[in-house]
A and B are shown apart, each in its own frame.
Chain A
C-alpha cells in the first residue's frame, strides 16, 4: 500500500512536470534578467547557509 502511494506520487509529479514543462510567460529581457538575478541571489544565500553550517560544526 505504501509502495503504491509512492508510485502514485511519483507519477503525479511526473505529470505535473510534463504539464508545466514550458514556461508560458513571454521571455522578455526583463523576465530573463529577473530570473537570472533570482538564481544568483539564491546561490549566494545557499553559500552563506553552507558557510554558517560549516563554521557552526567547527
Chain B
C-alpha cells in the first residue's frame, strides 16, 4: 500500500495537463530527471569499470590467437587465396570458434590450478607422459622457431636486408622485450605487434576487392570450381592444422599463470580469447582476399614469394605484405620461445616468471635466449635443409597435438581440481567433437607430409 502511495505523484506529474504549474509536481519532475541522470552516470561508471578491468585481464588470449597467424599460417592463407579465391573464406570463419573452444579451456585450467600445461601434465599423469610432452614440445617449438626465422628473413630479404642482420635484429628485439623484468611490459609490447598484424586489412582495402564475391564467399558455404579434390582436401587440412598448434595450449596456460589471473577473471579471460579468435579469422580472411584478388589461380609456396609478386604490382602493397610476414614470424617466435621456457621452468622448479629480473631467474632467461640463438643459427647455416625442417614440423606436431588435447579434456573433467569450473555437458560435447576432428585431420596432414603422393 505504501508503495502505491509514494509512486502516485510521479505518475501524475508526468501525465498532468499543465506540468509544472503545481510546485510539488515540478520538484518530482526534477527528482525524476536527477534520478535518471544518476542512474545513467552509475551505469556509465560501471561500464567504464568493466572495460578497465577487461583491459587489465586482456592479453594472453589476444596474443596467442594473433600469434597463431604466424609465418606458416600466413603462407597457408595466401596460398589458399591464390589457389581457390574467395571460395573458402566461410571455412576459415568456422575455424574461429574451434580455436576459441580449445584455448578457452587453458584459461580455466590455468586460473584454477595455477599450473602451466607442462606442470599440470606431470602432476596429473605422472612423469612418463610429462617427459614425453615436455621433450616433444621442446623439439617441436625449436623446429617451429626455425620456420618463424625463415619467414622473418624472407620478409626482410625483399628489402635487401641480409639474413644475418634480420636474425640479429629479431633476436635483439626479442631479448629487449623480456629483459625488463615485467610481464606487463612484455605483454603490452606484444600487443603492439598484434596490432601490426592487422596490416593486411588496409592492404586489402587498397586494392578495391570485389565486395559482392567476398560476401558470397563469407556467407555461403561452397566448394571451389572442380569440386572436392585431393588437393582441396590437403588445403583444408593445412588450414585446420594452422588453427591449433601445441605451443598455443602451453603458452596461454602459462601466460594465465604468470599473469596471476584468478578464478574471478575467467570470464574476462574468455572474452579476451574470443576477441583474439575474431582477429585471427579476420586476418586470415584478409590474406585470402589479397591473394584471391591479385594472384588468382597461381600456386604460392611461401608468403615471401607472394609479397615479392605484390611488389611488382604495387611497391606499397608488397611492403605491407612483407612487414606483415615479418611481424607474423616475430609474434610466433616470441610466443613459442616463451612457451618452452615457461614449460621447462615449471617442471624443473626454476623461477620462471617474466616478472623476475634476469638475476632472479637466470635459467629461465638462459633457456629463452638459448632457444632463440639455436633457431636463428640454423637459418644462417648455408644449404640447411629448411624445406625438410618445415615438413618435420608438421610430422612432430602430429605426435604432440593429440596428446596435449586429450590431456586438456581429461584435466578439464577432473572435478577434484576444477570444481565448478569443470567442463559442462555442452562443453564436453563441443570440445570432444572438435578434438576428435582435429586429431584425425592433423594426423592425415602429418601422414600426407610423410607420403606426399598419398593425396595425388
Interface residues of A (CB under 8 A from B): 12, 16-17, 19-26, 30-31, 34-35, 37-38, 41-42, 45, 48-49, 52
Q: List the 8 closest A-B pairs by CB distance, nearest first.
A: A23-B126, A25-B124, A20-B127, A20-B122, A17-B127, A52-B450, A23-B125, A34-B406
The one of A34, A42, A52 in contact with B451, judged by C-beta atoms closer than 8 angstroms, is A52
The distance from the CB of B136 to the nearest CB of chain A, in whole angstroms, is: 10
A1 smallest CB distance to B (angstroms)? 16
Residues of A within 8 A of B129 (CB): 35
Inter-subunit contact A22/B126 (CB<8 Å): yes
Once bound together, how far apart are the Cα atoms of A53 and B32, in whole Å?
81
Q: Could you say which residues of chain A place their CB within 8 Å of the CB of B389?
A: none
Report whether over half of chain B's contact residues are helix, strand or loop; otherwise say mixed. Answer: helix
Complex CA gap A24/B129 in Å reads 12
Q: Please report the C-alpha to C-alpha distance between residue A12 and residue B122 in the assembled complex, in whole angstroms.
A: 15
Give the distance in Å from the alpha carbon of A48 to the alpha carbon of B451 in the complex.
10
B410 at the interface (CB under 8 A from A): yes
Q: With A45-B398, A45-B399 as given contacts, are A30 and B410 in contact (CB-CB < 8 Å)?
A: yes
Which residues of B in the span 105-143 have a Cβ within 8 Å of any Cβ on A?
Answer: 122-127, 129-130
CB distance from A18 to the nearest CB of B (A): 9
Q: CB within 8 Å of A: which residues of B?
A: 122-127, 129-130, 347-348, 395, 398-399, 402-403, 406, 409-411, 413-414, 416, 443, 446-447, 450-451
Is there an interface contact between B127 and A34, defined as CB atoms closer than 8 Å?
A: no
A48's partner among B347, B402, B447 (CB-CB below 8 A) is B447
B122–A16 contact, CB under 8 A? Answer: yes
**Could you tell me the distance in whole angstroms from the C-beta of A47 to the nearest C-beta in chain B?**
12
Q: Is the CB of A42 within 8 A of B127?
A: no
For this complex, 17 residue pairs linking A to B, each with C-beta atoms less than 8 Å apart, are A16-B130, A17-B127, A20-B126, A20-B130, A22-B126, A23-B124, A23-B126, A26-B414, A34-B406, A35-B125, A37-B406, A38-B406, A45-B399, A49-B395, A49-B450, A52-B450, A52-B451
Interface pair A24/B123, CB less than 8 Å apart = yes
In the bound complex, residues from chain A placing their C-beta under 8 Å from that of B347 are 16
Q: Which residues of B contact A35 (CB under 8 A)?
A: 125, 129
Cβ A12 vs Cβ B125 within 8 A: no
Residues on the B chain within 8 Å of A45, using CB:
398-399, 443, 446
Are A21 and B127 interface neighbours, CB within 8 A?
yes
B121 CB, min distance to chain A CBs, angstroms: 9
A21 engages B402 (CB within 8 Å): no
* Bound-complex Cα distance A37 to B64 (A): 29
Question: Which residue in A21, A22, A34 is a CB contact (below 8 Å) of B410?
Answer: A34
Shortest beta-carbon distance, A49 to chain B, in Å? 7
Known: A45-B398, A52-B451. A12 touches B348 (CB 8 A): yes
Most A Cβ at <10 Å: residue of B126, B411, B416: B126
Give the CA-CA distance A26 to B411 in the complex, in Å: 10
In the bound assembly, the distance between CA atoms of A5 and B412 in angstroms comes to: 38
List, in ascending order, chain B residues with CB within 8 A of A16's CB: 122, 127, 130, 347-348
* A16 to B181 alpha-carbon distance, docked (Å): 27
A49 to B398 alpha-carbon distance, docked (Å): 11
Contacting residues, chain A, for B416 (C-beta < 8 A) = 26
For residue A57, give the distance in angstroms from its CB to the closest CB of chain B. 14
With contacts A25-B410, A25-B414, A41-B402 taken as known, whether A20 is within 8 angstroms of B451 at the C-beta atoms is no
State the Cβ distance, A58 to closest chain B Cβ, in Å: 15
Cα distance, A4 to B124, chains bound together (Å): 31
Chain A residue contacts of B410, Cβ below 8 A: 25, 30-31, 34
Contact A20 B403, CB 8 Å, known A26-B414, A48-B447, A52-B451? no
- Using A20-B123, A20-B130 as known contacts, say yes or no to A42 and B450 having CB atoms under 8 A apart: no
